[in-house]
Structure 1
Amino acid sequence: MKSIFIDCCLGISGDMLASALLDLGVPKSIFLDNLVRLNIEKNYNVKFNMGTSEGIKGIVCTKNEIPFKEVSRNLNDIKNLLLDSKLNEYVKKKSIRVFEILAEAEAVVHGNEVSDVHFHELGSMDSIIDIVNVCSAIDFLKPYSIYFSDPPSGKGIVSTSHGPLPIPVPTVAEIARQKKIPLMLLDDKYFGEITTPTGIALIATFIDKVYQPDKINIEKIGIGLGSKNISRPNFLRVMLISENDDYIGNNKPSFQTIISQEAWIDDSTPEDVAVLIERLRSAGAIDVICYSVDMKKNRKGICIQAILYPKHKNLLREVWFNYSTTIGIRENNISRWILPRRTVSHKTKFGIVNVKQVMRPNGQTSIKLEHKDLTKITLNTGIPIEEIRKKLIIELSGFYELDDYSF
């Protein structure tokens, strides 16, 4: 399956991201058709040209000045413009969401209602086109996942319609706060904006995919150049990467990096600990264990350890700090080897039962019946769970010997 890793460690803006996606393989016609679908093709012209930035080759986006005066737009104006266009529903929905995120941040910054927010630079046709182009490109590529590295905050002061503002500008800082996007401090001699409001709003639109994958198989790289000369390479890199599916195409163990989060607690009741464990599992933990430990001052405590995939680490941190008494957690990367496996649903005389299949290195397949399904059957029938297990193993014994699996 194909995914995208957007490496924005040097900065991100809407036009840089659109250029990088074009360089990755999105047809230029996708972007040019957007001008037609937005009904502005006679008033605006977007060009993508090859260029370099401090020796790094990529694509830079330029836009011809429009012959009509830009107007200030509010969120409803932009929504209506997009809804009235001939863009497809996905692009409309995602583009509107970007502007909603911008409006929500602007409302907090200026102390207004979202409906009263008026976009100036952000409501220009430049920004609208950049956002629509990025959403169209992602719609074309249809990646399984989209990953981002942490964007840089930048430093210095920038001139805006509100006057000079510190960097990161309030809108960028507010989106980062609301969406819990870490802003990286870049050791950079350049003083200026390198993560724009449009850029971070595009990240926030896909917030469920923000983290750097542990292992990437790069198939293609796209480079989008910034238009500013900042005495260092100014580009955004997008990588098309391949990832393994949930099951693996052979019977060999595969290597994986996961995360362990752990806390020792001595001031919670067993009932509270039980609720915490359930919350951690619901938030995406692969498993949670607990055992008794001797803590300082000879107090008896409980060690709670959650094992999780990297993409769930931020969400589980929130669970620890919001729903437990701990004031700190230990977090470590763990390496593990896993066998190819998959879960398959089968219709049996007891009803639908989920079965986990595992491929051993010697080519043999083993199965394990889902315990919660066995529990449901025993509660409904009154038959002892061990008897149900034996009957199902006999009933299903043939299917994993005869079926042609694609692990």
Structure 2
Amino acid sequence: MIGWLDLSAGASGDMLLGALVDAGVPLDVLAEAVAALPVEQVRLVAEQVTRHGLGATRVHVHTPGSDRHRTWADVRQLLADADLPDAVRDGALAVFERLAVAEGRVHRVPAAEVHFHEVGALDALADVVGVVAGLEHLELSALTASPVALGSGSARGAHGVVPIPGPAVLELLTGVPVTAGAVPAEMCTPTGAALLAARVTGWGPLPAMRVEHVGTGAGGRDPEELPNVVRLVLGEPVEPAAATPARPVVLEANVDDLDPRLWPGVLDALLAAGASDAWLTPILMKKGRPAHTLSVLCRPEAVPAVQAVVFATTSTIGLRVLDVGKVALERLHATVEVLGGDVGVKVAVHAEQVVNVGVEYEDVAALARELDLPVKEVLRAATAAAEAAYPVSPERRPTRPADAPPLWD
């Protein structure tokens, strides 16, 4: 199973807790992990709320009053002493380590000397441990997320007035796609940013998946600008559809003012430029003028070179470009010995059966010149040798009813 977070309204610890519970993670899973911390009693209570008419789950973290500021060393020891699964303990340690490093860079002190103010309280501990426990319960193979809305403006923190996005939030989300968002207030807390930085494995739009559960977690505020929620979408990944091969292209132009003696050279130049085929069709244009339609079949990647040749070697000033479908048989290339020389053979196969055999005319003509024989004699011999070496499958041969009249008397 994979997950995707919609962070268009930012993120906080309680919003992520709510999204997990709303997506089906039992509240007891989160509560038991929080209860394992060797601290005062902390209770988690889920409440159904609405944000702009959208139903959501809000998880309240009830803690006894305390103004204690824990250091990174204090938090590390608490987690080490907690009776937690290794994955949950290690995950929570990774989150708080990111917080310590970010706060240390912001305040220009070593991470070990950082005093957690806003994020060192019991509710932050509960947020981090609860979210990590919920994600471990889901056993996701990948967790991706949209760009994070951070907010704007300013707020008062433990050290005074700070700009929004907060310095620690920006430090935590370095390298992550972010946006100010619609709300002129804090939309992403340091705890939320640390959880995202530690747990999200990729960033971008909703990935291809077969959706199974959607969890909507609400924050405490209800701003006018948008629903203050995090959405967690869970499902099974879906393999993207195989890319459809690019369709062949036919370039066409009607030409009525080119010396006809030039056309053989034009066709040769087009084939040399990468065209799969090129041909002329006699037409009659307006006012009874005789002309030719030049048609060139080519792969999409060959179009620029082929166009350049058309404009350089003919008098046309425009081209029609048509995407066309194409059905091609499997083709095998071989040679047969004819009159002491080798002639190339093309064998067309359908459903593992030979349906057409043809000889390379240029090889036939070259051998005829070498032997000083009429081309038709060498062609007859080469065709017979090719058909003998690669007989057309009997069921592919056209048959006539036994009672059909003779073709000639």
Using the size of structure 2 for normalisation, the TM-score is: 0.57
| CA 219–116 in structure 1, closer or farther in 2 if over 3 Å, else same | same
Question: How do residues 334-345 of structure 1 correspond to structure 2 at under 5 angstroms?
Answer: none
For residues 153-177 of structure 1, what are the alpha-carbon distances to aligned partners after superposition, in whole Å with 9 as ceiling and x for unaligned? 2101111101111100000111122
CA contact (8 A) 1:48 1:62 kept: yes
Equivalent residue, structure 1, for 2:41: 43
Which deviates the most, 96-105 or 200-209? 200-209
What is the CA-CA distance between 1:210 and the residue it aligns to? 3.0
Distance in structure 1 (CA, Å) of the matches to 2:163 and 2:135: 32
CA contact (8 A) 1:157 1:165 kept: yes
What is the CA-CA distance between 1:207 and the residue it aligns to? 4.5
Equivalent residue, structure 1, for 2:52: 54
Equivalent residue, structure 1, for 2:278: none
Distance in structure 2 (CA, Å) of the matches to 1:174 and 1:35: 27
For residues 218-266 of structure 1, what are the alpha-carbon distances to aligned partners after superposition, in whole Å with 9 as ceiling and x for unaligned? 1110000010121231111000021147xxxxxxx93369xxxxxxxxx
Say which SS state the counterpart of residue 10 (structure 1) adopts: coil
Equivalent residue, structure 2, for 1:198: 191
- Which amino acid in 1 is paired with 2:232? V
Equivalent residue, structure 2, for 1:234: 228
Among candidates 237, 246, 264, match of residue 243 of structure 1: 237
Among candidates 167, 174, 181, match of residue 170 of structure 1: 167
CA contact (8 A) 1:172 1:196 kept: yes
What is the CA-CA distance between 1:213 and the residue it aligns to? 4.4
Distance in structure 2 (CA, Å) of the matches to 1:32 and 1:135: 12
Is 1:29 aligned to 2:28, yes or no?
yes
Equivalent residue, structure 1, for 2:242: 255
Distance in structure 1 (CA, Å) of the matches to 2:125 and 2:79: 9
Say which SS state the counterpart of residue 50 (structure 2) adopts: strand
Equivalent residue, structure 2, for 1:86: 83
Distance in structure 2 (CA, Å) of the matches to 1:243 and 1:65: 39
- Which amino acid in 1 is paired with 2:107? H
Distance in structure 2 (CA, Å) of the matches to 1:29 and 1:113: 37
Distance in structure 1 (CA, Å) of the matches to 2:100 and 2:193: 13
What is the CA-CA distance between 1:39 and the residue it aligns to? 3.5
| CA 89–255 in structure 1, closer or farther in 2 if over 3 Å, else same | same
Is 1:182 aligned to 2:180, yes or no?
no
Equivalent residue, structure 1, for 2:10: 11
- Which amino acid in 1 is paired with 2:50? T
Q: Size of the alignment, in residue pairs?
A: 246
| CA 157–240 in structure 1, closer or farther in 2 if over 3 Å, else same | same
Equivalent residue, structure 2, for 1:71: 68
Question: How do residues 4-403 of structure 1 correspond to structure 2 at under 5 angstroms?
Answer: 4-40=3-39, 43-67=41-65, 69-177=66-174, 180-186=175-181, 188=182, 190-231=183-224, 232-244=226-238, 254-255=241-242
| CA 244–104 in structure 1, closer or farther in 2 if over 3 Å, else same | same
CA contact (8 A) 2:61 2:126 kept: no
- Which amino acid in 2 is paired with 1:55? G
Say which SS state the counterpart of residue 101 (structure 1) adopts: helix
Distance in structure 2 (CA, Å) of the matches to 1:210 and 1:256: 23
CA contact (8 A) 1:54 1:233 kept: yes
- Which amino acid in 2 is paired with 1:183? V
What is the CA-CA distance between 1:129 and the residue it aligns to? 0.4
| CA 64–208 in structure 1, closer or farther in 2 if over 3 Å, else same | closer
Distance in structure 2 (CA, Å) of the matches to 1:36 and 1:202: 20
Distance in structure 2 (CA, Å) of the matches to 1:212 and 1:192: 24
CA contact (8 A) 2:222 2:228 kept: yes
For residues 349-385 of structure 1, what are the alpha-carbon distances to aligned partners after superposition, in whole Å with 9 as ceiling and x for unaligned? xxxxxxxxxxxxx9xxxxxxxxxxxxxxxxxxxxxxx
CA contact (8 A) 2:208 2:238 kept: no
- Which amino acid in 2 is paired with 1:254? A
Say which SS state the counterpart of residue 43 (structure 1) adopts: coil
What is the CA-CA distance between 1:62 and the residue it aligns to? 1.5
What is the CA-CA distance between 1:209 and the residue it aligns to? 2.7
Say which SS state the counterpart of residue 232 (structure 2) adopts: strand
For residues 131-171 of structure 1, what are the alpha-carbon distances to aligned partners after superposition, in whole Å with 9 as ceiling and x for unaligned? 10110001100011101111012101111101111100000
Distance in structure 1 (CA, Å) of the matches to 2:243 and 2:46: 40
Distance in structure 1 (CA, Å) of the matches to 2:122 and 2:102: 20
The RMSD of aligned alpha carbons is 2.2
Distance in structure 2 (CA, Å) of the matches to 1:93 and 1:49: 29
Percent identity over paired residues? 30
Specify every segment of 5 or more residues in structure 1 that has no aligned partner in the other structure, as ranges.
246-252, 258-361, 363-407
Distance in structure 2 (CA, Å) of the matches to 1:147 and 1:214: 8
CA contact (8 A) 2:38 2:78 kept: no
Distance in structure 2 (CA, Å) of the matches to 1:4 and 1:144: 8
Which has more radius of gyration?
Answer: 2
Distance in structure 1 (CA, Å) of the matches to 2:243 and 2:4: 18
